A and B are shown apart, each in its own frame.
Chain A
Amino acid sequence: MVALATAVPLAAPVELVDRLTFAAIYGVAGLGVGLLLGQCGILNLAQAVFYGIGAYASAYGCVELGWPPVAGILAGMAVSGALAGLIGWPTLRLNGYFLALATLALCIAGGELFFEWDWLTGGSYGIGGIPALDFAIVRFDKPEKFYYLAWGVLALALVLARNLIASRDGLAAQAMRDAPDAAAVLSIDMHALKVKMFVLSAMLGALAGSLFAHYVSFVSVQSFGVERSILFLLVPVLGGARALSGIIIGALFVALVPEALSAFGEIHHVLFGLALVAVVILCPEGLAGLWTRLRGARRPARRPAPVTTAKEVEHVA
C-alpha cells in the first residue's frame, strides 16, 4: 500500500497528483476534527477558521513581513492554539448542540473577520505570491514534490495521533466520551482535556492551512468559510471517526469525489450534502466502520444490563 502511494506521482497524471496532495492537506485538518469527534464526541465546525489563520499567517508572514516559511507555520499554529484555548475555555463547558452551534457561530464570525480585515488578508483579492517551501535541499514547488511533503506530514500526524490515543490522555478522552459519569468519578478533568484536544485540533488545522498556502501560493477568503469547515467535518464522518484509517479514507473521498461528481454539474453540491446525511443514517461508523464490519472483525460488544426475570424476583421474594 505504502509502495503504491509512493509510486503514484511518478506515473499518474498531474491532476490526480494535485487532488491527492489536497487529500493529504485536508486529511491533516480532518484529523484535528476527527480527534475531537471520535475521541471526545465533540463536533467542531470552526476548523476553517484555524485553517485560515494558518494560511494567512504563512501568507502575510512570508509575503508582507518577509519571514521564512517555518516562522509563518509556527506563528499560525501558535495563534490558532491560543485562540482555541481562549474561546474553548468558556465554550467547551457547553454540551452537544450548544457547543457545535457555538463552533459554527465562530466559523461564521471568523469568516466575516477574514473578509473585513483586508489589511491582513487582502479580503476577496487575497494574498498572492506565497513562496514555495524551500528546505535548502529540496524545493517543493510542483505537485509531484509537494505530494510527498503533504503525505509525509499526514503520516507523521497520524502516528502522533495514534500515540496520543493510546496514551493516558487518550484513554481519559475515551472514558469521557463513553461514560462521562464514571470518568468524573475517576477525577479526570474533563474540561481541561477537552480544551487540550481543541487546541491540538486547531493547531492541526493551522498546519494544514499553512501547507495549503505554500502549495497554491494564493489565498483568499473564499477558501475559509463554513463550506470548508463542513468539508473537514466530512473527513472523519465519511471515513469513520474512531479509526485513524478512516481519516485517510475520508480525506481521499473528500478530495476526489467532488471532482468526479462535478461532471453532474451544479447539482454535485446537493449530492455532497446528501452523502453526509446518507452516511450518518446508513453507516454511522463511516466507511472505515463499514469495511471493518464487512471483514467480520469483532468489535467489543457492550454487555446488556442483566434483566430481572419473574423467576429471579420470585426467588428473592
Chain B
Amino acid sequence: MTAALFVQALFAGLTNGFVYALVGLGIAVIFKGSRTVNVVQGEFVVIGALVVVGLLDAAGLPYPVAALAGIVGGLLLGGFTEVAFIRPLIRRRAGEDALLLVSIGLAVAMSAAVLYVAGRGSYLLPAVGGNAVVNLAGATVRVHALFLIASGAALVLGLAWFFRHTMLGLSMMAAAMEPDGATVTGIDTERMRTLTFALGGALGAAAGILVAPLTEVNYQMGLALTLKGFAAAVLGGLANPLGAVAGGILIAMVEAFGIVFIASGYKNVFAMSVLILVMVLLPNGLLGRRARAGG
C-alpha cells in the first residue's frame, strides 16, 4: 500500500470520524443530561440537513441563514420530541424497554416522514470552498472536510466548556446525575431534560449540515447513523463528549482501512462489529468507569 493511499484512508477516517463523533456528541450530550439513549439522533441529522436543503431550494435563503434556521429547527424538534414522547413515559416511571420502543417507533416514523416529504432521492448541500481540494502529503482532501474537522473540534471544545463552566450546563448534568438532589437546589429537572434534548437536536442538525456537502443524505440513513454515533459515544464513555470524538475517529478509521484492505461493501459490517465489540468488551468506553461517571 502506497503512502498516498495510507494518507487518503487516514483523512477519510478522520473526516468520517468527526461525522460519527458529531452524531455521537449529540447522543452523549443527551445521555449526560437525561440518562436516556436517543435512538432518534440520526433522524435529527437527516432532518436538519434536509430542512436546510429545502430552505435553500425553496426559499432561496442565503446559506448562513438557512444553516442557522436548520439548527434552530433541530433545537425545536429535539425539545418537542422530549416533551411529547419522553416526558410522559418518564413521569410514568416506564422502564428502559418502553423508552427504547418509543424511540425506535419515532425513528421509524421520522424516517418515513422524510420519505413522504422528500422522497427517495439523495440530497447534497453546497460545500464550503466548493469543489476545491487540498493536497496533503499526496492525499487529496476537500476543503470542506477540513472545515468539518475544524468545526467539529470547535463544537466539542465549546460543549466541554459549556458543561463545566456555565450554570446551565452544570444544572443539566446535575439534573441527570442526581435528580432529587438537583430538585432540592431548585433545578427544574424536567426543563433541563427538555433543554438537553433541544441541545442534542441542534447538534444533530449541525452535524447534518456539516456532513451533507460531503455525503448525500437520504431518508434511510438515520438508523445506521444513530448506531455509528452510539458506537462512538459508548467508546468515549457515553457521557463524555470529548470521548465521542475519539470513539468516532476510531470507528471511522476501522471502516476506512477495512475498505482499503478488504472490500468497500462491508462498510457497515465493520462499523457494526466494532460497535458490538466495544459494547461487550469496553462498556465503559476507552477511558473506563471514570469517564462514565461524571465525564
Contact = CB atoms under 8 A, between A and B. Distances in A.
Most buried by B among A98, A227, A284: A98
Contacts of B223: 104, 108, 226
Contacts of A98: 234, 279, 283
A40 B89 CA distance: 21
A227 B105 CA distance: 11
A284 B275 contact: no
Interface in B84-98: 85, 88-89, 94-98
Given A101-B37, A104-B223, A269-B115, A280 B105 contact: yes
Given A100-B100, A109-B273, A276 B105 contact: yes
B265 A106 contact: no
Contacts of B267: 112
Contact of A105 (B95, B100, B276): B276
A71 to B, nearest CB: 28
A102 B275 contact: yes
Interface stretch (A15-23, A88-96, A206-214, A288-296): A88-96
A47 B171 CA distance: 41
A108 B224 contact: yes
Interface stretch (B8-16, B68-76, B106-114): B106-114
Given A102-B279, A230-B108, A270 B113 contact: yes
A104 B225 CA distance: 12
A101 B227 contact: yes
B265 A116 contact: yes
A284 B94 contact: yes
A186 to B, nearest CB: 22
Nearest to A116: B265
A115 interface: yes
Interface string A261-298: 00000110110111111001100100000000000000
A106 B279 CA distance: 13
B101 A276 contact: yes
B276 A269 contact: no
Nearest to B273: A109
A61 interface: no
Contact of A94 (B39, B224, B273, B280): B280
Contacts of B269: 109, 112-113, 116
A97 interface: yes
Contacts of A94: 279-280, 283
A219 interface: no
Interface residues of A, number: 43
A116 B102 contact: no
A268 to B, nearest CB: 8
Interface string B16-60: 000000000000000000000101000000000000000000000
B85 A277 contact: yes
B230 interface: yes
Contact of A93 (B102, B105, B227, B280): B280
Contact of A266 (B110, B115, B231): B115
A270 B109 contact: yes
A280 B112 contact: no
A150 interface: no
B125 to A, nearest CB: 24
Interface in B219-243: 223-224, 227, 230-231, 234
A41 interface: yes
A43 interface: yes
B280 A101 contact: no
Contacts of B122: none
A73 interface: no
A43 B109 contact: no
Nearest to A269: B112
B63 interface: no
Contact of B102 (A87, A270, A281): A281
Interface in A194-237: 226-227, 230, 233, 237
A93 B223 CA distance: 24
Interface string A41-61: 101010000000000000000
A97 B102 CA distance: 12
A133 interface: no
Contacts of A96: 96-97, 100
A27 B203 CA distance: 40
Interface of B: 37, 39, 85, 88-89, 94-98, 100-102, 104-113, 115-116, 223-224, 227, 230-231, 234, 263, 265-269, 272-273, 275-276, 279-280, 283
15 contacts: A43-B100, A94-B280, A96-B97, A102-B275, A105-B276, A106-B272, A112-B267, A112-B269, A116-B266, A116-B269, A233-B104, A272-B108, A273-B107, A277-B85, A280-B89
